[in-house]
Amino acid sequence: MYDVIIIGGGPSGASAGIRAGKLGLKALLLEKDKFPRYKPCGGGLSEHAISYLDFELPQDLIEWEVTGAKVLFRDQSIKAHKDRRLSVLVSRDKFDDFLLEKAKETGIEVNTGEKALCCREMPDCIEVDTRQETYQAKFAIIAEGAHGLVKTCVRPADNREEYGICLVTEIPAEERELEERLGNTVELHFGVAGGGYGWIFPHKTYYSVGVGGVARDFLHPKKIMLEFLEKNDFSGEYKLHGHKIPLGGIKRKIVGSRVLLSGDAAGFIDAFSGEGLAYAIVSGQFAAEVIAGICLQGGNLKDLSKYESLCRAEFGTHLKYSLMFSRIMHRFPDRTFKVFTSSDKMIDKFLEVVDLTIDYKDYLRWCLLNFKLR
């Protein structure tokens, strides 16, 4: 009998594993893939996300440093910079592998190449079936990401209004070309995909290029991605990777009787920017802490609900307002993005949301005030 079984070894599951191991929980982490594995992602790791890591991010994982953004809407574009680093770019195969190794170092058991098939909540324990074994634990953390249906033991799968679809590819390039084209900025192209955007991010040896939008409004992702590539002078044959991305800010059930959902499985994504790594990491840590409180400090089952309060207090309002902001912007794109890309001040202020110096609620308030002043 384990204290906790963690399903999924991505950033959320690995962060739960690191915290569980450090706190002394008897934990088993199941990951269906052998690591390192490819994960479709832009690889943007914000300063806010880095602040949750309880260790130094190794320099060799940092492929690029970002201080600003170029935001485009149709024929308009605008650039803004800060005098500080806002985020770094990492390759997810390396970053995720590093985190999972950190989890192993704490002494927890990590089985890669072993997929959880289902998770059952029983009165006294949970049971997790894999093809090899049935495991028992007092609690489970489901960190299986956006795909996968183990989470349906707690909540129904998302419908097409509740998740987005992304297509991404990596395009090899020389460091000098990346430097000349992007410098320390990322490019965000609005008006490309329904309810989302296209991006071009610099990594050390490649561009990450992708498009993402709300599934309901983004009907021909492959066609749009090919047009986006062509329009931005990427003319080769590229392998495209598709992935779901939940829309954050929607109320979802994340606590069962003995199960907690974390990261993308819980829907913790900024609905406007698509950032999820920060919330994946911190929610995994919170999940492990709450379970440790029950198993090691004499707490009771009811304390499981503390997880929801912790997440709400840390980033609940921010994600709720990211959804509101996203819906306002995409409802009347011609009006809103025109204003967004016509004023340096708007983008400059938005960069403060990127590293969470201010949250979406403050940003929205600031925007309304500025609209009124116009």
Ligand X SMILES: Cc1cc2nc3c(=O)[nH]c(=O)nc-3n(C[C@H](O)[C@H](O)[C@H](O)COP(=O)(O)OP(=O)(O)OC[C@H]3O[C@@H](n4cnc5c(N)ncnc54)[C@H](O)[C@@H]3O)c2cc1C
Residue 38 or 332 having the CB closest to ligand X? 38
By CB under 6 A, the residues from 63 to 102 that bind ligand X are: none
Contact window for ligand X (CB under 6 A) among 30-38, 51-59, 223-231, 346-354: 30-38
Per CB under 6 A, the list member of 25, 71, 137, 150 interacting with ligand X is 150
Residue 32 or 320 having the CB closest to ligand X? 32
Helix (H, G, I), strand (E, B) or coil at 28: strand
By CB under 6 A, the residues from 215 to 244 that bind ligand X are: 243
The nearest distance, CB 66 to ligand X, in angstroms, is 10
For residues 260 and 304, the answer to whether their CB atoms sit within 8 Å is yes
Per CB under 6 A, the list member of 2, 13, 66, 272 interacting with ligand X is 13
**Continuous segment of H or E residues that includes residue 172:** strand 163-172
Helix, strand, coil abundance in the chain, percent, nearest 5 = 40, 25, 35
User: What whole-number distance in Å separates Cα of residue 233 and Cα of residue 108?
Assistant: 47
For residues 352 and 358, the answer to whether their CB atoms sit within 8 Å is yes
Contact window for ligand X (CB under 6 A) among 6-14, 50-58, 349-357, 365-373: 6-14
By CB under 6 A, the residues from 247 to 276 that bind ligand X are: 263-265, 269, 274-276
β-bridge partners, 168: 210, 241
Per CB under 6 A, the list member of 30, 88, 288, 319 interacting with ligand X is 30
The nearest distance, CB 312 to ligand X, in angstroms, is 18
Per CB under 6 A, the list member of 19, 22, 48, 115 interacting with ligand X is 115
Provide the residue type at 295 as one letter: C
Helices 344-354, 333-340: axis angle to 10 degrees equals 90
At 296, phi and psi to the nearest 5? Answer: -110, -15
Please report how many Cα atoms fall inside a 13 Å half-sphere around the Cα of residue 200, on the Cβ side.
24
Q: Are strands 87-89 and 44-46 parallel, antiparallel or unpaired?
A: antiparallel
Contact window for ligand X (CB under 6 A) among 1-9, 76-84, 314-322, 347-355: 1-9
Residue numbers at the binding site for ligand X (CB under 6 A): 7-13, 30-33, 39-44, 115-116, 143-145, 148, 150, 166, 168, 210, 243, 245, 263-265, 269, 274-277, 280
